Amino acid sequence: MTKGYWVSVYPAISDPEILTAYNKLAGPAVRAAGGSVLSRGGRVVAHELGITQRVVLIEFDSFGQAVAAYESEAYQKALVALPDGFKRDFRIVEGID
């Protein structure tokens, strides 16, 4: 079974405190769904396009588990906490064996 990953890139965060309400809900939802945070806003060395945006990487035991975590009621409540107009590039990707 291949692992599943959530990859989030935040193009711009004008106010880091804006994520506080979301993080309070998203963290427990992710952990309850079996997710493990591998990286959250650490240092970035950018190549090619040179974009050093905040990146969050979360690992799940399977791709299906990653999709189910996103669709869970708990995570959907966390998404509501993001303000209108908040931008992020979010993807669920399948790992390789």
Would you state the structure tokens that stand for residue 51, as one six-digit string? 């974009």
Asked if residues 9 and 87 have their Cβ atoms less than 8 Å apart, the reply is: no
Under CATH, what is the fold of the domain 4-94? Alpha-Beta Plaits (3.30.70)
Q: Alpha-carbon distance 69 to 73, whole Å?
A: 9
Alpha carbon of residue 46 to chain centroid: 19
Task: Please report how many Cα atoms fall inside a 13 Å half-sphere around the Cα of residue 20, on the Cβ side.
Answer: 4
Q: What pLDDT, on the 0 to 100 scale, is given for residue 44?
A: 86
Q: Alpha-carbon distance 20 to 66, whole Å?
A: 22
Q: Could you give phi then psi for residue 92, rounded to 5 degrees?
A: -110, 120
pLDDT tens sequence for the chain (97 residues): 899 999 999 887 777 777 888 889 999 999 999 999 999 888 888 898 877 888 999 999 999 999 999 999 999 999 988 877 778 899 999 999 8
H or E element that contains 84: none
